[in-house]
Amino acid sequence: MVPRCWFWWRWSAWPRTRPPFAGSTPTPGLLQQFSTQEKTPQICVVGSGPAGFYTAQHLLKHHPQAQVDIYEKQFVPFGLVRFGVAPDHPEVKNVINTFTQTAHSDRCAFWGNVEVGRDVTVPELQEAYHAVVLSYGAEDHQPLGIPGEELPGVLSARTFVGWYNGLPENRELTPDLSCDTVVILGQGNVALDVARILLTPPEHLERTDITKAALEVLRQSQVKTVWIVGRRGPLQVAFTIKELREMIQLPGTRPILDSENFLGLQDRIKEVPRPRKRLTELLLQTATQKPSGEETAHQALASRVWGLRFFRSPQQVLPSPDGRRVAGIRLAVTRLEGVGEATRAVPTGDTEDLPCGLVLSSVGYKSRPIDPSVPFDPKLGVIPNTEGRVVDVPGLYCSGWVKRGPTGVIATTMSDSFLTGQTLLQDLKAGLLPSGPRPGSVAIQTLLRSRGVRPVSFSDWEKLDAEEVARGQGAGKPREKLVDPREMLQLLGH
Ligand SMILES: Cc1cc2nc3c(=O)[nH]c(=O)nc-3n(C[C@H](O)[C@H](O)[C@H](O)COP(=O)(O)OP(=O)(O)OC[C@H]3O[C@@H](n4cnc5c(N)ncnc54)[C@H](O)[C@@H]3O)c2cc1C
Ligand SMILES: NC(=O)c1ccc[n+]([C@@H]2O[C@H](COP(=O)([O-])OP(=O)(O)OC[C@H]3O[C@@H](n4cnc5c(N)ncnc54)[C@H](OP(=O)(O)O)[C@@H]3O)[C@@H](O)[C@H]2O)c1
């Protein structure tokens, strides 16, 4: 192990080589607001998803000389924008253009293939930088905690999404879609993404950035029915109206909603906030109204169905007779207790067995602790913080899903990350960050080299990007994602 402070004496020999920020004109007088020692803060961001990039963007925009280095464990940047957002939602991925602009700043560097906590520790980063921002997202799935969860044929939605989106660690998943029925547990937007990808006619996915391997498996799929199961009722679904509408209009499919679940709802929706009201009205209309002529024709042609099952909580995964894979799921019938946000599902004592060949658990993502030196709340799965300041660790900040938990869209993550950036700059101005120069990436690069870690730069990513785009062109796809890290290294000549 390299001694903790070895780079201090080396640092004095390193010149500052980076040119001043060429990508923007600093606001007049902005620099004068900072005292001499805060004029060239070295800041490091861990994670290159929306939180990492939006935090970097804020820091670069509001501090005319800040240097921001982004460390990322994958070879490629952009986090869930690349590995989460559904392939048939290309417009959402346009944020990559903004992130690329940030990465092109002379005062920003991207270092991929560096796993913080493994290749370099958080205390080592803290010694090299004036401030460290942890924006490493929520990489695990929330376990169900029920018997049979480990059976073949039970997958987390996180893994399934990673597979169709080309996440290297999930590239060999090949889910078995030879069954008739799939059960998805959870009624959030990820559940709808997964249901939509399972049911969309494969020819409609051909021109997206879904991986070739996933498209092949989907082409062979025998799945006819997808149940999306929620432990609470129609008024508590976690998905949003746009995504529900897409499901209702999905070619070749028909929704099944039990009108019994909607009894009395018409009166209750008057009291709920407008977005929830509109969403529930659409559900209610789909469940209870006769489809229009056009919709009837659309539904008559449907060869696949999807349905929402309410008031059902997963209790046990049922094995096949030989015990080798999933054959169904036992659901506890529930009723609601409490009011408003505090409404809880409690079991009535009744159960229902639902036969299926694949269970996809979509009950949320979960952050991991990154380093023993960083406080972590295992119950909430977040780094305890006040406005982005990690509690009791001066100079350490957090943003995004690891700051506030695994919910919220990219826009929410953006506002949250800007706030963390603002907090950090306030602390800098108030003299709360270490004074004197810090070596930044120069020290960390040397440290990584001594450990045999070879980071990839943003221009390396741009080479991989060009290769992906070229590979996709023949098939009319925006890109064919590279999924094998060894191949990526070969392409980079590493
Ligand atoms: C399946 C799915 C689909 C979604 N679709 C949409 C959508 O259509 N529209 C929308 O607005 N929002 C969508 N979201 C929400 C959106 O993706 C999140 O709000 C956002 O990505 C959270 O940003 P983040 O930076 O906190 O986390 P992430 O995007 O997960 O980024 C975290 C980054 O940190 C890196 N990292 C992790 N550990 C380490 C480590 N130890 N060292 C270095 N790097 C590390 C990861 O590789 C990753 O690149 C979706 C979410 C999911 C799960
Ligand atoms: N198109 C998009 O904009 C898009 C796409 C994908 C994701 N996202 C965003 O990404 C975030 C994460 O999405 P998500 O779907 O993973 O999470 P989510 O929105 O939090 O939904 C999780 C679902 O799982 C259920 N659940 C949780 N624990 C459970 C348990 N133990 N047993 C049974 N059900 C359980 C929840 O029910 P309860 O409500 O009863 O807890 C809820 O229905 C969300 O903010 C989402 O909007 C956006």
Residue 191 sits in a domain of what CATH number? 3.50.50.60
178 and 150 in a single domain? The answer is yes
119 and 182 in a single domain? The answer is no
Name residue, tokens 């997206």: 208
Q: Residues lining ligand 2, judged by CB closer than 6 Å?
A: 185-191, 193, 230-232, 236, 238, 243, 313-314, 362-365, 406-409
Residue 248 lies in a domain: yes
351 and 438 in a single domain? The answer is no
Give the pLDDT confidence score for residue 238 in this predicted structure. 97
Instruction: State how many domains the chain has.
Output: 2
Name residue, tokens 């998943």: 173
CA nearest ligand 2 atom 28, residue: 363
Residue 412 lies in a domain: yes
pLDDT digits (tens, 9 = 90+) for 151-198: 999 999 999 999 999 999 999 998 999 999 999 999 999 999 999 999
Q: Is the per-residue pLDDT at 15 higher than 60?
A: no
More confident residue, 267 or 116: 116
Q: How confident is residue 7, by pLDDT bands cut at 50, 70 and 90?
A: very low
Residue 22 lies in a domain: no
Distance 239 CA to ligand 2 centre (A): 7
pLDDT digits (tens, 9 = 90+) for 363-399: 999 999 999 999 999 999 999 999 999 999 999 999 9
Q: Is the per-residue pLDDT at 19 higher than 80?
A: no
Q: Residues lining ligand 1, judged by CB closer than 6 Å?
A: 46-52, 71-74, 79-80, 84-85, 89, 92, 115-117, 135-137, 139, 161, 190, 193, 365, 370, 400-401, 408-410, 413
Residue 32 lies in a domain: no
107 and 195 in a single domain? The answer is no
158 and 216 in a single domain? The answer is yes
Phi, psi of 336 (to 5 degrees): -95, 145
* Mean pLDDT of all residues in 267-284: 93
Binding region: 51, 72, 80, 116, 187-190, 231-232, 243, 401, 408-410
| Chosen domain end from 313, 334, 363 | 363
Residue 29 lies in a domain: no
294 and 372 in a single domain? The answer is no
249 and 344 in a single domain? The answer is yes
Distance 180 CA to ligand 2 centre (A): 25
**Ligand 1: which atom is nearest the Cα of residue 401?**
26
Q: How confident is residue 291, by pLDDT bands cut at 50, 70 and 90?
A: confident
Find the ligand nearest to 401 CA: 1
Distance 80 CA to ligand 1 centre (A): 4
Give the pLDDT confidence score for residue 292 in this predicted structure. 78
Q: How confident is residue 32, by pLDDT bands cut at 50, 70 and 90?
A: low
273 and 307 in a single domain? The answer is yes
Find the ligand nearest to 412 CA: 1
- Per mean pLDDT, which of 196-205, 281-290, 291-300 is the most reliable? 196-205
**Ligand 2: which atom is nearest the Cα of residue 84?**
6
92 and 177 in a single domain? The answer is no
Mutate to test the pocket of ligand 2, among 93, 331, 407, 416 (most ligand atoms within 8 A of CB): 407
Q: Is the per-residue pLDDT at 140 higher than 70?
A: yes
pTM of the model: 0.93
CA nearest ligand 2 atom 44, residue: 407
Distance 187 CA to ligand 2 centre (A): 6
| Chosen domain end from 328, 363, 398 | 363
Task: Identify the domain containing residue 417 by its residue range.
Answer: 42-139+366-456
210 and 359 in a single domain? The answer is yes
Residue 35 lies in a domain: no
Mutate to test the pocket of ligand 1, among 57, 115, 136, 160 (most ligand atoms within 8 A of CB): 136
* Mean pLDDT of all residues in 428-447: 95
* Mean pLDDT of all residues in 38-52: 93
Q: Is the per-residue pLDDT at 295 higher than 90?
A: no
Residue 263 lies in a domain: yes
CA distance 156 to 79: 18
| Chosen domain end from 331, 363, 395 | 363
Residue 37 lies in a domain: no
Provide the CATH number for the domain around residue 91: 3.40.50.720
351 and 237 in a single domain? The answer is yes
CA nearest ligand 2 atom 16, residue: 364
Distance 208 CA to ligand 1 centre (A): 20
Tell me the percentage of the chain whose pLDDT exceeds 70.
Answer: 92
Mutate to test the pocket of ligand 2, among 141, 409, 413, 416 (most ligand atoms within 8 A of CB): 409
Distance 447 CA to ligand 2 centre (A): 40
Distance 75 CA to ligand 1 centre (A): 15
341 and 395 in a single domain? The answer is no
